[in-house]
Amino acid sequence: MFKVVLPLFLICFYSSVDAQVNRRVRIAVLNDKKVALQGATVYLLTVDSVAIQTETVNADGTTEFSDINLGTYRVKATSSGHEDGFSRWLDLQKNTSVIDTIILQPKAGLLTGVTVVSKKPFVQFLPDKTVINPEANITNAGATVMDVLEKSPGLTIGKDGSIIMKGKPAVTVLIDGKPIQLSGADLQAYLSGISASQVAAIELIENPGAKYDASGNAGIINIKTKTNNQRGFNGSLNLSVGQGVYSKTGNTLNLNYRQGKINGFLNYGIRANTEFQDIWTLRTYFDNQGEDSALLEQPNFGKNRASAHNLKTGLDFFVSNRTTLGLVFTGGLFNRNGSFSSDINWMDKNYIIDSTINTLGENTTEFKRGGVNFNGRHQINKTTELSFDVDYVNFNIDNDQHYQTQLLIPGSPVLTTKGNTPSKLDIVTLKVDYAKRFKTILLETGLKTAVNKTDNLAEYFYLDNNNWRPDLSRTNHFLYNEKISAAYASADAEKGKWHGQAGLRYEFTSYKAHQLGNAVVKDSAFKRTYGSLFPTAFVSYQADSNNTLTIRAGRRIDRPPFQNLNPFLRILNKYTYESGNPFIKPQYTWNVALAHTYKEKLTTELSYGYLRDYFSQIFIIDSNSSNENKNIIIYTRGNVGSFQNFSVSETYQVPVTKWWNMTAVAIFNHKIINGVVWAPITVKISQLNVSLNNQFQFKKGWGAEISGFYQTKSQIDLQEWLKPQGELNLGVSKQVLKGKGSLKLSIRDITYFQNYSGYSTFENAHEPFRIKWDTRVARLSFSWRFGKTMKAVRRSEGGATDEINRAGSGN
């Protein structure tokens, strides 16, 4: 691997002698009263009006284009409620840097006294990604990151917390470029502990380039948190309270101080919620003739109190104009205490109750995450840059369970059990990147190594004559060590109306796993090594100022989360267990897409994805069950076959009037899943997801929002589908404190239609289910910005780009 990449480094290094000058354009965008128009969009245009770069204006009203070729250009600026504006013609033949100001005039017909406040659009569509701006939605005030994802266009959240993007499973979730190593319900709980007010933007990247880790078959979701790195002392404060069935609160504080060569920052968030979860299932068992033989009704009501603290803080040291060093600390603490009760009814096929089993349970979870990142960036010359990241991340998870089960017959004994499942995960990554710009080509190469070590213990006990005795049949100790090494090279070129990028990444994985045995469980160990190439490419053609065509293609991998490899059993209830599978292989996907954009308003995309060795959630019968009917179901995962997805999406963004902006998204998916569980199974389904967001801006700083989404019946996995679901949201806002603060009142899920209801099929049974929770919530929030605002500096996002997403927090 090093023999392949080292020559690329040497070529780039020695070619730096002939480096071209880095030309820059700095633009300020103001309204007719000379007030900065934060969030305005600016385009760098060639002499034939082709946009070659796009930027968003900062809080001080400025932005900058860099790495521009020789030529003559001008800048176009657009902002809601204003006429488009243009800069003068900018000569970059003689000058290496130019500065200009664009004054945007209010659109004709605006009433005197109306204040138009520019803001980022809810969704931004770029050639290589889609950007969600949470603060653009009033109803996101006081919400969590999970709330934002649930109503983002093209995203679907399964009942187990899995995220599906445009119909395709297996998404890698990053925070500031670092994977958060959680999956399923663990990921859902963790993101539910982070306030949306801590997030600057959410990037949906369907076909990441070779510079990114190859994991995530459907692509990458990168959650970019706020880092206030402006000059002087400044910050922001966000407070919110909410009321559903139970109360909720979420607060964040962002602070920054930059003086001379030192910049310090802090981002802290705290949430405290009380939640409920109401689950109902009705499992129907079949006899040998396929006729109904027994019914198992499993209602379950749980209530929990959760608190979450998230911290990001660090320092930047500007050694010189060309060299920057940074140190970033991140931490998270999540606590949840919950209790539940369930009366499980065994019935005959005529719904006559035969027996009832009562279960009372308590769960306590404590999840701690700490990380440190050391990064550096050195600009060798105007066109050559070298950067590095060193990351260490640690997870410590404690999960305690306590159950009491009793058959509701006089004199029936009480079965009392408890379990403790602590986990520890250590991740170390090292990443080096080198970039070199030639006249029309940007060449990037890099190396990365990641080492992951996890230690999982599961101890179960049962109460016998007031003495706790170990349940060795379910006790387990699982050790897993993994190393992933990667190298990549990519080239990005622009010429005239064409823009293209091609890259190749190689990843080599080796792991060792050891399940320690005891008197009952057999000791076992396994290991594996594998490597693969991952090509990526896209080509974009701007036919004219109105039409742009883009073709994207790439190959990706999805490795099973660490905890899914652990073969120990986890008790969900008396008749349903969850188990890992140490024999899951990685799954591979080819994705290809064709997109057309018209006037930055209408985007149409056709895409196809083919997934091989698809590992689906599967439900199997417990072969070790001692009862005659074999009625215990084990929920696990395994490689079952292939997954195909055909997708068509339409996105329309338009200012309907001077005070009304609308974004509409429709995504149609046709899925074909082929697999083998107890027998060959083929699933074909077509589904539609529609979302609509309306933002209204009125005079005197008032604003409003009406938004929502609707999804038709959808297939989640090989053995499970969901009924239609949706959400309707309303919100109103008012600017206060001379525009530095705002008050927002919102109501989410007014119709209480956001639920998970569906159907699961098993070998000898099927099961409709319904899950409801506290989704209809009214929130009141207050935000305040203080201090000076200057142009922000660039900061590394770290190097642990694929590792933190696969751990599982035990939440």
Residue 282 confidence (pLDDT) = 93
Stretch 186-205: mean pLDDT: 75
- Residue 89 pLDDT exceeds 50: yes
d(CA 359, CA 403): 7
Q: How far is CA 576 from CA 299, 301, 573, in A?
A: 13, 16, 5
Q: Is residue 326 predicted with pLDDT exceeding 50?
A: yes
pLDDT at 504 over 90: yes
d(Cα 279, Cα 297) in Å, to the nearest integer?
Answer: 11
Q: What is the pLDDT of residue 389?
A: 93
Residue 284's Cα: distance from chain center in Å?
36
4: enclosing H helix or E strand: helix 2-14
Query: Can you tell me the mean pLDDT for 15-44?
Result: 72
**What does the pLDDT read at residue 483?**
94
Residue positions counted in the chain: 811
Q: How confident is residue 738, by pLDDT bands cut at 50, 70 and 90?
A: confident
What pLDDT, on a 0 to 100 scale, did the predictor assign at position 116? 38
Burial class (CB in 10 A: 0-12, 13-18, 19+), 365: buried
- DSSP at 804: T
Look up residue 522 and give its two tokens: 């057999």
pLDDT value, residue 142: 64
Give me the residue spans of the domains in the chain: 2-116, 125-787
Is pLDDT of 113 > 90? Answer: no
List the Cα angle 571/573/579 in 5-degree steps. Answer: 35
Residue-level pLDDT at 443: 93
Place of tokens 């429709």: 666
Q: For the residues 140-146, what does the mean pLDDT come to?
A: 73
Q: CB count, 10 Å around CB of 99?
A: 14
Residues 747-784 have pLDDT tens digits of 989 999 887 899 988 888 889 999 998 889 999 999 88
Nearest Cα to Cα of residue 715 among 691, 683, 689, 756: 683
The answer to whether 699 touches 114, Cβ cutoff 8 Å, is: yes
pLDDT at 521 over 80: no
Task: Quote the tokens at residue 766.
Answer: 């099927």
**Least confident window among 277-281, 324-328, 591-595, 614-618:** 614-618
When mean pLDDT is compared across 82-86, 253-257, 743-747, 794-798, the lowest value belongs to 794-798
| Mean pLDDT (whole number) for 304-325 | 89
Residues of the chain with pLDDT > 90, as a percent, come to: 25
| Nearest residue to 429 via CA among 378, 373, 385, 377 | 373
* Cβ atoms 695, 117 nearer than 8 A: no
Q: What is the pLDDT of residue 128?
A: 65
Query: Which residues lie closer than 8 Å to 416 by C-beta, 6 or more apart?
Result: 402, 403, 404, 405, 462, 463
- Position 160 scores a pLDDT of 61
Task: Please tell me which residue, 588 or 95, carries the higher pLDDT value.
Answer: 588
CB within 8 Å of 172: residues ≥ 6 apart: 179, 213, 215, 216, 219, 220, 221, 558, 802, 805
Q: What is the pLDDT of residue 581?
A: 83
Share of residues in the chain with pLDDT > 70 (%): 85
* pLDDT band, residue 506 (cuts 50/70/90): very high
* Residue 220 near residue 362 (C-beta atoms within 8 A): no
> What integer pLDDT is reported at residue 473 of this predicted model?
79
Average the pLDDT over 585-599 and give the result: 90
From the options 3.30.43.10, 3.30.2000.10, 2.40.70.10, 2.40.170.20, give the CATH code of 125-787.
Answer: 2.40.170.20
The C-alpha atoms of residue 107 and residue 443 are separated, in whole angstroms, by 43
Q: State which amino acid sits at residue 154.
A: G
DSSP 363: E
Can you tell me the mean pLDDT for 408-421?
86
Flag the least confident range among 417-426, 493-502, 631-640: 631-640
Q: What is the mean pLDDT of residues 487-507?
A: 91
Rounded mean pLDDT, 287-301:
85
Question: What confidence tens digit (pLDDT) does each residue in 717-732 have?
Answer: 888 888 998 889 999 9
Q: What is the pLDDT of residue 633?
A: 82
Tens of pLDDT, residue by residue over 68-82, are 877 788 899 988 778
Tokens 């920052």 sit at which residue? 265
Instruction: Report the candidate in 572, 585, 584 with the shortest Cα–Cα distance to residue 622.
Output: 572
Task: Please indicate whether residue 397 or residue 22 has the higher confidence score (pLDDT).
Answer: 397
418-422, 468-472, 478-482, 736-740: the lowest-pLDDT one: 736-740
DSSP state of 69: P
SS percent in the chain: helix, strand, coil, step 5: 5, 65, 30
* Mean pLDDT, the chain, integer: 82
pLDDT at 123 > cutoff 80? no
Summarised one tens digit per residue, pLDDT across range 673-715 is 998 888 888 999 999 999 888 888 888 888 899 988 999 998 8
- Confidence band of 121 (pLDDT split at 50, 70, 90): low
- Reported as a pLDDT band with limits 50, 70 and 90, residue 648 is very high
Q: Categorize the per-residue pLDDT at 4 as very low, low, confident or very high, splitting at 50, 70 and 90.
A: very low
**What confidence tier does 810 reach under pLDDT thresholds 50, 70, 90?**
very low
Tell me the mean pLDDT in the region 310-320.
89
Q: What is the pLDDT of residues 348-359, one digit of tens each?
A: 888 999 889 898
Per CATH, domain 2-116 is 2.60.40.1120: yes
pLDDT of 625 > 80? The answer is no
pLDDT at position 788: 60
